[in-house]
Structure 1
Amino acid sequence: MATSEITGEFRRGSGVIVAAALGIGLGLSPLPFYTIGVFMPVLSEEFGWRYDQIMVALTVMTLGAFLFAPVAGYLSDRFGAKRVALISTVMFSLVFMSFSLMTDSLLQFYATWGLMASLGAGTLPVTWTRGVTSFFEKNRGMALGLALVLTGPCGALAKVLSDHLIGEIGWRMTYVCVGLAPLLITVPIGLLLFRDAPAKAPAISGAISGKSSVSEPGFSLKQALVTSRFWLLAYAFLVMSIGLSGPVPNLEAIFREKGFEVSNSVLLASFAGYAVIIGRLSGGWLIDRFWPPGVAILMLTSPILGLLALAQIDTPSFMLCAGAVVLMGAALGVEYDFLAFMSAKYFGMRNYSSIYGCLYAFFAIGAAAGPVIGARMFVQTGSYKAALYVWAGSLVIGAIALPFLGRRETIFDDPRPAPVAIPQTTGA
């Protein structure tokens, strides 16, 4: 790969990466997901809610993401990712701050999570990565890794900051402070730096009418839905997301069960966010150079070792727990990269956001189930041991589908007929 190709793409698209990284890192995907474990004990104490009842909120949120991520993708394809992402960021920020008005009604709690998911779906990678994938081709994997790299650090910082602020100003004002971040950071930087996809060369169409239209190569959503690759990706990520997303919101409770103090439990859990950087950058570099399904199998199943260690050792050391969390975080750091990369590679950019949104919806189903499974098993058995085995097993079962995606050189094939060249005539 020529150095000029690398520097040229990054010179043109660096601002888009920065805006996308902040937009995704301070959006619906990381902030509620990473902070719910911190708010869970104080909400339980304040309102008498059980842990599994609180974790149902993640199910509500991911159900909302399942329903509205495809809508956000369609709107991005139709009206531009920038407009959709920024409007959604404002809505997400306001709804997140409204948690400060919470009463003891679980229905109100769940309704707020559902509203946050529906209005905040435009902050998901579905929208922001459209700009990134449009500006990058040779270095798309690395660019996506950089665009998604802040989900972990932002989530980890939000976790630690929330834990500190709850003790200083109370949980209600902590919701306000965390919710202000997208409004004050993402919106102005997005307005300044983010750009929609650059215009493509017009495709030859409408030979009879003599009209031409601008169209990007790739599958329509309808065409993608009838391919085996779409459903293999949907199945793999639905099942694997149970094991990828399930442990993280429960980490504080898992480590308290293992005998760690609250402060050390929060500290250990925060390592998952920082380890996302490892997954984002290494995963992005690897999928640009090697067989993407193989990279995904290697990285997405790596948490199995940590999950089994935590299940089998009753009093693990701090370092063993930290290592297990790092493996989980690194895997979380590559799941969005892989899904975004393969959406573009397999199906092209024609309806990228719509297709990615539908695939993300399946990921959201598993992400909704995983944390609730763990919390429910804890309530029933008084231990997370069984849940740790279930999470590890889901990673194995989901990974089995990935080799059937095929070899890299056969990934993208434009399903539309090749344009017919129209000979030009010259006057006599």
Structure 2
Amino acid sequence: MQSATVAGYESHATNEFAQGWRVLVASLLGIGCGLAAMPFYTVGVFAPHLAKEFGWSFGEIMAGLTITTVVVIVAAPAAGILCDRFGTRRVAISSLVMFGLAYLSLAMLGNSLVQFYVTWAVIATLGAGTLPITFTRTVNQWFDRHRGVALGIAMTGTGVFGVLCKPLLAWVIGGWGWRAGYVALGLLPLALALPAVVLLFREPLQATLAEGTAPSAELPGLTKSEALRQWRFWLIAIVLLPISFSLAGAVPNLEPILLDRGIDQATILTLTPLIGLTAIAGRIVGGWLLDRFWAPAVAFVLLGAPAISCVILASAQLDPGMARFAILLLGFALGIEYDVVAYLTSRYFGMKSYSAIYSVFYVCFATGAGFGPLIFGIIRDWSHDFAPALLSAAVALPVCAGAFLFLGRYPQLK
């Protein structure tokens, strides 16, 4: 097991979880209480309260997420470089502290959109080290044979947070107001994720880190500049944009899509939670598949299948049973997307500059996801129907997911 040996420890594959479970627990909590999950799952909860308090429109409030996406385009690659240079543990600890404190500052908002937007820019900048870029690097170092499942477990942090955050916020906001809700969120990375990372999160190269040398120096793989000269790098980067655009464009607009199709609000409330639950299952099952089959084929099947969902949702007549099936396919794909990219990065480009390389892919995915809901909404306003956007996504998903099949066999990295 080359990566394990290079990382400074020898372990039979069956013993990977016995040695790496601490890293998985810390990664799950770190990702779940980090920038990848907290803003996107909670902004809708606070929107009605901010609109009532300050008179802001929902569009003005949601623009905070767009600002976050734009800042991440710059901050994520910077965080990746820092991880490769100084180690993921240092970056994760520092970023969790700053991210939590920045989130707490939202409790002190005044009636100023400028303050609101600047705060989101600061949150995205300081919280970039809590993105999966950081944690998946170390998970990849600890796991080889069971890497797919391990990545899936670590990434379930986003889904677990998505399921639990709304009941928590409903209780806090109902009892103490929306400002207390922001305090509760800001405390999560500080009181929950930070202790777990401090106590449990270790890189196999801790001895090297203690000596102050670059932790990636002995790891196999390509440097970022070498990866940029590879056609495989650009193939992955290019196809991620339309894939993330198609998936993220449909999911946040799911409720209005179902309303347009004549499904009543009560039924919709029973359908939409399936996204988060199925995403959790998708991460585990998808990880298991990645460990047993060629990753590009798994990516093609799982990321191309939601084209069926888009066709179903675009149909004029939609019954709750078919809607449920479409939502399950979408949720499963959402549960595997970042895991697939992390896995492909480690197998095709290695661990030497993993964070720097993966951060570029993450930016591509985040860009598509950040603008997808907006463009879907614009198309709906223009055509009075989501069908044109959904049918375009139905074409893009299998075509772009099929491009992964051209990646070929995993290279032997040195």
- TM-score interval for Structure 1 and Structure 2 normalised by the shorter chain: 0.7 to 0.9
Give 1:144 deviation, angstroms: 0.9
Letter in 1 for 2:353: N
Asked if 1:369 is matched to 2:371, the reply is yes
Please name the residue that 1:424 is paired with: none
How far apart are 1:104 and its partner, in Å?
4.3
Spell out the pairing of 1:284-323 with structure 2 (5 A cutoff).
284-313=287-316, 316-317=319-320, 319-323=321-325
Task: Quote the offset at 1:351 in angstroms.
Answer: 0.9
2-structure distance, mates of 1:260, 1:113: 35
CA contact (8 A) 2:95 2:126 kept: yes
TM-score scaled by structure 2?
0.87
Question: Aligned to 2:139, which of 124, 127, 132?
Answer: 132
Counterpart of 2:178 in structure 1 is 171
Q: Cα gap change, 1:161/1:391 in structure 2, threshold over 3 Å: closer, same or farther?
A: farther
Q: Contact conserved, 1:88 with 1:121, CA < 8 A, in 2?
A: yes
Deviations along 1:298-338, one digit per CA (max 9) or x if unpaired, are 11122222233222246642x44333322222111111111
The separation in 2 between residues aligned to 1:267 and 1:176, in whole angstroms, is: 29
Q: 1:11: Cα distance to partner?
A: 1.2
Partner residue, 2:212: none
Residue 412 (structure 1) aligned with residue 404 (structure 2):
no
Secondary structure at 2:351 match in 1: coil
TM superposition shift of 1:384 = 3.8
Give SS of 1:132's match: helix
Q: How far 1:262 sits from its partner (Å)?
A: 6.4
Match of 2:252, SS? Answer: helix
Aligned residue runs from structure 1 range 39-118, under 5 A: 39-118=46-125
How far apart in 2 are the matches of 1:214 and 1:279?
A: 34
Residue 103 of structure 1 and its aligned partner are, at CA, apart by 3.8
Per mean C-alpha deviation after superposition, the further-off stretch among 355-364 and 90-99 is 90-99
**Residues 14 and 249 of structure 1: is their aligned pair in 2 closer, same or farther, counting only changes over 3 Å?**
same
Is the CA contact (8 Å cut-off) linking 1:245 and 1:370 kept in structure 2?
Answer: yes
Q: Report the secondary structure of 1:149's partner residue.
A: helix
Deviation at 1:374, TM superposition (A): 2.5
Counterpart in 2 of 1:402? Answer: 404
Query: Is residue 242 of structure 1 aligned with residue 249 of structure 2?
Result: no
Output the aligned Cα RMSD.
Answer: 2.7
Return the offset for 1:91.
Answer: 1.8
Aligned residues of 1:92 and 1:116 also touching (Cα < 8 A): yes
The SS at the match of 1:359 is helix
Shift in alpha-carbon separation, 1:23–1:242, aligned structure 2, 3 A? same
1:187 corresponds to which of 179, 194, 207: 194
Contact 1:151-1:276 within 8 A present in 2 as well: no
Within 5 Å, give how 1:248-287 maps onto structure 2: 248-255=251-258, 265=268, 268-287=271-290
Tell me if the contact between 1:200 and 1:215 (Cα under 8 Å) persists in the aligned partners: no
Change (3 A) 1:163 1:305: farther
- Structure 2 distance, partners of 1:315, 1:398, is 27
**What runs of 5+ residues in structure 2 fail to find an aligned partner?**
2-10, 209-215
**Unmatched tracts of structure 1, length 5 or more:** 202-212, 417-428
Q: Is the 8 A contact 1:152 1:272 kept in 2?
A: no
How many equivalent pairs are there? 398
- State how far apart, in whole Å, the 2-side matches of 1:272 and 1:336 are: 16
TM-score, with structure 1 as normaliser: 0.84
Q: Which amino acid aligns with 2:243?
A: M
Counterparts in 2 of 1:58 and 1:378: CA distance versus 1, 3 Å? farther
1:255 deviation in Å? 4.5
Shift of 1:161: 3.4
**Contact preservation (8 Å) 1:377, 1:384:** yes
Q: Once the two structures are aligned, what percentage of the paired residues are identical?
A: 44
SS of the counterpart of 1:371?
helix
Q: 1:116 to 1:382 in 2, by over 3 A?
A: farther
Higher radius of gyration, 1 or 2: 1
**CA–CA distance in 2 between the matches of 1:107 and 1:316?**
44
